[in-house]
Structure 1
């Protein structure tokens, strides 16, 4: 499995700041297209808006949860309603259907949902509270909405993984990534539910108050942090890379978050206001000095750029190496191994 292909240095440039009609605050953001997103507040409003902040559609039955909606690979909206049912709103005919009915006799209630673009599965994080103690779990549903996996306990210690899973996402490696506000951590497991790591403390040394979360094309993790008034950026193994100080651009309480892999635009929503900042995220030279201008192979779009040809000074996918004789006698290295070698030489 490919993990982090490169350690990337980020530079985020504020493109615009929007005042979004139809919501009081911007708790969660789900991308539909490069210029359209769904945004929700805590009053049960869920609106479709564009890059001008205009209200294009409006629902009023979303539940009082944080990461309560997602968009599937067809552009359909998936959301948790006031009765904790999970609904689908079709893009084509605007027909609403309940795809997972809430069992109101069960102790568990859904808190956030994510539709996987690679598998079509739904990841639903749930909680229940007993004696003022919160416990969480993640349930995976397949395309026919059968419960096929539950992630709840550490696969070695048996301890519970989650307390308050407020936001959930997935990266290209299939890792399940949860923002847990009570634990003050980003909790990551692999696709099989095996615990990988928890990220609790940014470089500044303060505690973490994680909220909205998303990933980029290289499986890096971006998470809103209330304590540092920033968006923290981690590699896919949980190592701190850098941060965007949203407080410098008027957002002191970053909450909602969405990343567009096609345009490299990052949408950041404000907890206290109906304001969204849109940043252009530029991936600058990594510590390896390797060129990273395009994360997807142009000849083989489904393949990551995992190989580096040293004589040609170019990043390639494995299919480029196997199907082309151009690099047959060249010194071609695995990007991750090369990155680690350079790190070792530099004493990093």
Structure 2
């Protein structure tokens, strides 16, 4: 399948200074965070709802998600995980913070409704990470932390987390993308394209074919790899006029890709276009 992403619209979002993370609500509404604020916006850039009190700075990457009911699930500044109802009226704490593991990223599975939470703790210049699966009401199901064969730790700093149609759990770590199956068995780690440029992964999402799309902070690009670790292409690069990419969200229904940057309050929205349609075939 040959396709590329064409810029459809650039949206300046009222109330944020950068696009750390993006969570889809509908084809025309998303939640966007910048390290201090969490804003519900539409494709016109209007501020529809505003939350504060989320983790700040380096610890505010993938701190929110939207579940199948349209509720916002987010990590607050006390590192509790909360559910805010779709009408923005009822707030419920799902998971209370328990030291020393701090939640840093959260994702609501579209297939199971489970919550996947990336956590870390820091000791003497060392980050140690894990991913914990909870059900939709916050009950613990499974912890993914070590390689099933070697026993080595899988994660250091799980900043963003998502899932594909195969049930694989996909995590942006410090210098690699770590993929495990739904049982927690390590499948592969992706460390960058064949060029050898390395990888500093940030925002991550998947498409309807279970391709993995990941922002690379190192090369200012969005890369696409398949579900078996093979690099496919750079779908966005600096020649598209974007840099220091952080937030990424793909809507499989509308085929829109929302992209946020560290250096701008403007969110770029791209649409997938089939190459055959562009050539008139």
TM-score by length of 1: 0.76
The DSSP-based 3-state class of the residue aligned with 2:50 is: strand
* Partner of residue 321, structure 1: none
Match of 2:11 in 1: 18
Q: 2:42 aligns with which of 40, 50, 56?
A: 50
Quick check: 2:94–2:137 contact (8 Å CA) kept in 1?
no
**Higher CA-based Rg:** 1
Q: Counterpart of 1:132? A: 125
- 1:152 and 1:160 in contact (8 A); partners too: yes
Deviation, structure 1 residue 96: 0.9
2:76 paired with 1:84: no
CA separation of 1:284 and 1:190: change in aligned 2, threshold 3 A: farther
Residue matched to 2:170: 177
Contact 2:79 2:102 in 1 (8 A): yes
Distance 1:251 1:124 in 2: 29
Runs of 4+ in 1 over 3 A off after TM superposition: none
Question: Which of these residues, 220, 233, 237, is aligned with residue 229 of structure 1?
Answer: 220
Partner of 1:192: 183
Between the aligned partners of 2:210 and 2:118, the Cα distance in structure 1 is 20
Q: In 2, are the aligned partners of 1:10 and 1:242 still within 8 Å (CA)?
A: no
Alignment pair present for 1:242 and 2:233: yes
Q: Which residue of 2 aligns with 1:313?
A: none
Counterpart-to-counterpart distance in 2, 1:186 and 1:284: 28
Deviation of the 1:284 alpha carbon: 4.3
What residue is the counterpart of 1:63 in the other structure? 55
Are residue 270 (structure 1) and residue 261 (structure 2) matched? yes
Contact 2:64/2:105, CA 8 A, preserved across alignment: yes
For the pair 1:219 / 2:210, whether they are aligned, the reply is yes
Equivalent-residue separation in structure 1 for 2:195 and 2:28 (angstroms): 34
Q: Is the 8 A contact 2:20 2:261 kept in 1?
A: yes
Look up the SS of the partner of 1:114 in the other structure. Answer: strand
**Compared CA separation, residues 144 and 96, structure 1 to 2 (3 A):** closer
Q: Deviations over 1:201-245 (max 9, x none)?
A: 213320111000000011110000112211000111111111123
| Number of aligned residue pairs | 273
Unaligned runs of 5+ in 2: 277-281
Instruction: Show CA shifts across 1:115-172 (max 9, x none).
Output: 0111110000000011211000000001332111000000001100001110000001
Task: Look up the match of 2:279.
Answer: none
Deviations along 1:281-317, one digit per CA (max 9) or x if unpaired, are 12447xxxxxxxxxxxxxxxxxxxxxxxxxxxxxxxx
Higher strand share: 2
Equivalence for 1:98: 93
Corresponding position of 1:303 = none
SS at match of 1:165: coil
